[in-house]
Each structure stands twice: as C-alpha cells, then as structure tokens.
Structure 1
Amino acid sequence: MIAETVCSAVSVAGLGIAAVTAYRKRFLTAARLAAYSLVPLGLVMTGAVEWVVDTAFSPTAWAGFGVLGAAWLMFMGTRAVERRSGGTRKERKAAKAAQREAVAPAASAPSLGRTARPQQAAQPQQQPKPASGGADDFSDIEAILKKHGI
C-alpha cells in the first residue's frame, strides 16, 4: 500500500514538473517528462509494484536471484578463460594453418628506412621509358613495384 502511494506521488510530482516545463515553452522536454512520470502510475495500475514488493520480501525470490548471479558469474568466468587461452583447439589450428599459408608474409614489413643492402640503395634508379605500344601498358606500374623491391 505504501509503495503504491509513493509511486503515485512520484507521478504527480513529475507531471507538475512537466507542466512547469511546458509553461516555459519547452514542449518537447515537457512531453518527455510527462511520459517518464506516467510510468510509475502505470506500474501501480497493472499490479507490477505489488509483485515487486512481494518479491523483495520473499526468501525464495532472493535465493533465485543468488542462483541467477552464480550462473552469470560462471558464464563470464568461462568466457574470460576462453579469451585468455586463445579459443578452442580448432580455432588455434586454423589460425596456425592460415599463418603458414600466407601469400606474402613479409608484405607488412615497412619499406621505408635503412635498407639491408646499402649498395642497392646507392645505385640510381632508372626511369622507365614511356610506353607507346599495347604491350607496355603496365610499365609505370612495374617501375613502381621495382622501386619498392617487389
């Protein structure tokens, strides 16, 4: 009985604040406040508040919440262990196989900086001649690839 009275008072106070907000010409905010303030009144009218009050003082309900909490902790613990171990064996085998089958494993290495062979870096790069025929359409692309050592 007390919970229903408190919820009704909260709804009336919220509607009062919404009315003041509407008086200040903030209609969108006033409508949103009115919607929020009608929620407790709706909960009282549907009987949900009575159910919550009965559940809050029930030892069986608290035991149920404890079981739910234990299940949640077990679920989160297994997920953490799975993430830390790197997944299942099948996932690890697939990752190793994919790593072995890489097309260009050194492709991600940076191409800037000091080179391993300084004599190549000291040689001047030859510029390709412009292509006039159809066979040399990709000569500029080949020159770029050669420039980067690919």
Structure 2
Amino acid sequence: MLAETICSAVSAAGLGIAAITAYRKRFLAATRIAAYSLVPVGLVMTGVVKWVSGIVFEPSVWIGFGLLAVAWLLLVTTRAVERRGGATRKERKAARDASQGEAVAPVASAPSLGTAAGPAADPAARDGRKEKPQQAAGAGDDFSDIEAILKKHGI
C-alpha cells in the first residue's frame, strides 16, 4: 500500500514537471519527462511493485543473495590464486601442446629445413661459391619488404 502511494506521488510530480517544461516551449523534453513519470504507475498497475516488495521482505530471498555472494567470492578468490601462482591457462596450454608435440613428431622424423645431406646436393657448394648464412625469417626478423614499401611511398 505504501509503495503504491509513493509511486503515484512520483508520477504526479513528474507530470507536473513535464507540464512546466511544456509551458516553456520545450515539447520534446516535456514528452520525455512525461514518459518517465508514467513508468511508476505502470509498474504498480501491472503488479511488479507487489512482486518486488514480496522479494525484499522475504528472508529466504536474502539467504539466496548471500549464497550467490559467497559463490562469487569463491570464484574471484580462486582466479586470484591461480594468477598469482603463475600457472595461467595459456601457460598450461603451452606446456600441454609442447609435450604433445614431442610425442607426435620425434626429432628423427622431423623434415629437414636446412641444406641436403651432402655437399653434392647443394648447387652452391658444387660451384665452389659460399652463401651467406641466412637467419631464420620469423615474424619480426626480416623487415626488407616493409622497408621497400616505405621507400616506395617516400617515407
């Protein structure tokens, strides 16, 4: 009963403010204020206010909220301990992938990425020329393509 009275008073005050705003020729703002002021009365008429007041004054609901808070605290605490221990999900996944990679492809069966078995198979070695040792072209090792693009654009 008290909640319905309060909601009605808030709506009446909002409609009064909307009327003053409309008198000042600010019709869009007045319409917006009127819309907001009708919400409390609508909530009372649909029964939402009774439902919410029933939840607020029910002890079992507050016990449920307490249990949710405890569960949330436990989850946050375990995440903090996991991060502090250094064993993050990424580290565990990397360790698991590394151990599986060694088991699947042993060193003896890995394909050779370097030169062939003997000097006869290497065409530069047959001609007596020596090539410069090339570094592994990783993601950040070789910037020659980027430099060429920048020079092309005058940067």
TM-score when normalising by structure 2: 0.56
**Residue 37 (structure 2) aligns with:** 37
TM-score when normalising by structure 1: 0.57
- Residue 57 (structure 1) shift: 1.5
**Residue 62 (structure 1) aligns with:** 62
**Residue 21 (structure 1) aligns with:** 21
- Residue 80 (structure 1) shift: 4.3
- The percentage of counterpart residues that share the same residue type is 59
Cα distance change, pair 74–39 in 1 and its aligned pair in 2 (3 A): farther
Q: 3-state DSSP class of the match of 1:25?
A: coil
Q: Which string of whole-angstrom CA distances, capped at 9 and with x for unpartnered residues, describes residues 96-133 of structure 1? A: xxxxx98144569xxxxxxxxxxxxxxxxxxxxxxxxx
- Residue 64 (structure 1) shift: 1.0
* Greater RCO (Cα-Cα under 8 Å, separation 6 or more): 1
**Residue 93 (structure 2) aligns with:** 90
- Residue 36 (structure 1) shift: 1.2
- Residue 58 (structure 1) shift: 1.3
CA contact under 8 A between 1:15 and 1:37: conserved in structure 2? yes
CA–CA distance in structure 2, aligned partners of residues 65 and 71 of structure 1: 10
Over the aligned positions, Cα root-mean-square deviation in angstroms equals 3.5
Question: Which amino acid is the alignment partner of residue 43 of structure 1?
Answer: L
- Residue 73 (structure 1) shift: 2.5
Map residues 1-150 of structure 1 onto 2, 5 A cutoff: 1-81=1-81, 85=86, 87-88=88-89, 89-90=92-93, 103-106=138-141, 141=148
- Residue 93 (structure 1) shift: 6.4
- Residue 39 (structure 1) shift: 1.2
CA–CA distance in structure 2, aligned partners of residues 36 and 81 of structure 1: 46
CA contact under 8 A between 1:86 and 1:92: conserved in structure 2? no
Which blocks of at least 5 consecutive residues in structure 1 are unaligned?
95-100, 109-139, 145-150
